[in-house]
Amino acid sequence: MRGQDELSFERYAAGAGRRLYRTAYLLCGDRHRAEDLAQTTLAKLFAHWRRASRMDHLDAYARTVLTRTFLGEQRRRAVARRLGVLAAAPPEAAPGQDSDLRVTLLLALAELPARARAMVVLRYWEDLSVETVAELLGCSTGTVKSQCSRALARLREQLGEPHPYASA
């Protein structure tokens, strides 16, 4: 990579690194894995920087790389768990002075299947449209809608929040 390309990547990485980490943390619930996911995403971007830097929506591309990296890692971990190679680790509570609600929400998010968690994070935390999430994850808009609806219902149930349409 030439000097100008390296400089433009360094500028992008400095600005996007925190956003990528935040999204990764919401996806996996573990700060160390989130750091690894964000670094892996930046490494993949660096490897293809000439092509990636010419994209109209570089942040969207980076989110796609991050999400697909997370889902791929989840699949590998599930296989390793089935083979008895990897023990299931409980999600780590966020460091610092977090409120009980934040910790509870992060633990509830961690209980969702990886793909549903990715959809909820992208749709509601990253505020992406249904169509964009569907494109990022390679599925239909109907799948995103139904999976998000089910995931939100499950989160409400775990958090003890009544369903908005339930009769009192």
Tell the CATH superfamily of the 3-159 domain. PhyR, sigma-like (SL) domain (1.20.140.160)
Residue 163: CB atoms within 10 Å: 10
The structural domains of the chain, with segments of one domain joined by +, span: 3-159
Reported pTM: 0.65
User: What pLDDT, on a 0 to 100 scale, did the predictor assign at position 148?
Assistant: 92
> What secondary structure does DSSP assign to the chain, as a single string?
--HHHHHHHHHHHHHHHHHHHHHHHHHHS-HHHHHHHHHHHHHHHHHTHHHHTT-S-HHHHHHHHHHHHHHHHHHHHHHHHHTTSSPPPPPPPPSSS--HHHHHHHHHHHHS-HHHHHHHIIIIIS---HHHHHHHHTS-HHHHHHHHHHHHHHHHHHHTPPPTTS--
pLDDT tens-digit profile of 61-100?
Answer: 999 999 999 988 888 877 777 766 555 555 554 455 456 6
pLDDT tens-digit profile of 11-22?
Answer: 999 999 999 999
Quick one: what percent of the chain has pLDDT higher than 70?
A: 81
Distance CA 13, CA 52 (A): 13
